Amino acid sequence: MKCLIIAAGEGTRLSNRGGSKPLVPLLELPLIERVILNAKGAGITDFYIVTGYNGEKLRNHLNQFARRRDLKVTHLINKQWKKENGLSVLAAKKEINENFILLMSDHIFDKSILENLMQEKVADGEIILAVDHNLKNKTVDVDDVTKVLVDDKNKIVNIGKNIKKYNAYDTGIFLCSPEIFEALEESSDNGDTSLSAGIKILAKRKKARVFDIEGKYWIDVDDENAFKKAENILLADLKKVSDGPISRYLNRPVSSRISKYFLKINITPNQISFFSFSLSMIGALFFFFGGYVNLLIGGVLAQVSSIVDGCDGEIARLKFQASEFGGWYDAVLDRYADAFLLFGLTYYTYILGGNLIYVFIGFLAIIGSFMNSYTADKYDGLMKKKVFPGKYYFRIGRDIRLFVIFLGAVTNQPLLFLFLIAILSNAENIRRIVMFYKSG
């Protein structure tokens, strides 16, 4: 499916951040790149970009960007960019003659909105607009947003910024048939060059319906206030439903702040993975030295590595650099780090007491940890699909193990907390077996 993105406007309310609004960096990535890469993540690789104000600069940037990201970009020019945005859509009339996605260059949104919208079937001559029915959405500028009145059959009755009766917000995400061009030509002939005017014409023909985004995030990054909200939304979206309690409430709030700094420097997710691994290995080394001070240093490094370990995935998502290799590489390094940390802690406790039972406890902790990690993917798949779709669920994982190591070091009770890891990890594995058995 082709994607049309309109990026012709001047965007004066963000001019203090750059001369071209689509190139304003949001968390170090230009707005229009975020929109394009989000669409690419949904499976689109063929883009038509309408430029106008400061167009040459934007087109040159997009040409380089397209080569780096292996994308097809076709440039369209709207010489009447000072007028309303309907003319920017009309610029694609001769280029697109099938159903297509229409996006705004300054609207940031949850990728799943687009993925789900693309699954919708479009009737002949119809357009589908993704709308937000949450009229209490605090990220929306009510004075500036385009409002939509929808009937009980999900058909658009009215649309516009100044309509008084409405029950939804326009997110700027469309699935269109080519008939949108004829409607825009008709509205332009009538003196209204806005996109909403063309939608109104289709609405009168019962050819404009809506798609509910069901509470997923979106924001029009139109001014400084919205820009800061967009940053916060993207950082908050770094949380995963599979995050354990330590990761969710302790590590992630810290790692997201570190990631915001990492974005400013030229560092890759894989380099962060190796850095986190190195911290764990150094921490494990301190356990072998013996003594409370070394135990404490090792425990602190283990917890710091746990926090930094969240940054590689965060950077990968924020920079759209996620890869299968990166996920596998991180997982392999984590297993090695866990083994050395637990082996180091086992050695530390054995040297203190000289009892072989301590080695056995350490062995149980290491085996439980490895089986915990081995079953994690299948467990996450079960929880996401069958138990609590789209919601947080309980999970004992690496974040808890490393935090327990940290607690054992701080309290100078390594044996007690090593025993706790052995109990928790193996009990979690048994719990997962029971859950899989019950799920069939």
Longest dimension (CA), the chain: 91
- Per-residue tens of pLDDT for the chain, all 440 residues: 899 999 999 988 998 998 899 999 999 999 999 999 999 999 999 999 999 999 999 999 999 999 999 999 999 999 999 999 999 999 999 999 999 999 999 999 999 999 999 999 999 999 999 999 999 999 999 999 999 999 999 999 999 999 999 999 999 999 999 999 999 999 999 999 999 999 999 999 999 999 999 999 999 999 999 999 999 999 999 988 788 899 999 999 999 999 999 999 989 999 999 999 999 999 999 999 999 999 999 999 999 999 999 999 999 999 999 999 999 999 999 999 999 999 999 999 999 888 999 999 999 999 999 999 998 888 888 877 766 556 777 888 999 999 999 999 999 999 999 999 999 999 999 999 988 888 77
List the domain boundaries for the chain.
Answer: 2-233, 239-439
CATH architecture designation of domain 2-233: Alpha-Beta Complex (3.90)
Q: What CA–CA distance (Å, rounded) separates 216 from 390?
A: 11
pTM: 0.88
Q: Which helix (H) or strand (E) holds 148?
A: strand 147-150
pLDDT for 209: 96
239-439 belongs to CATH 1.20.120.1760: yes
pLDDT for 388: 57
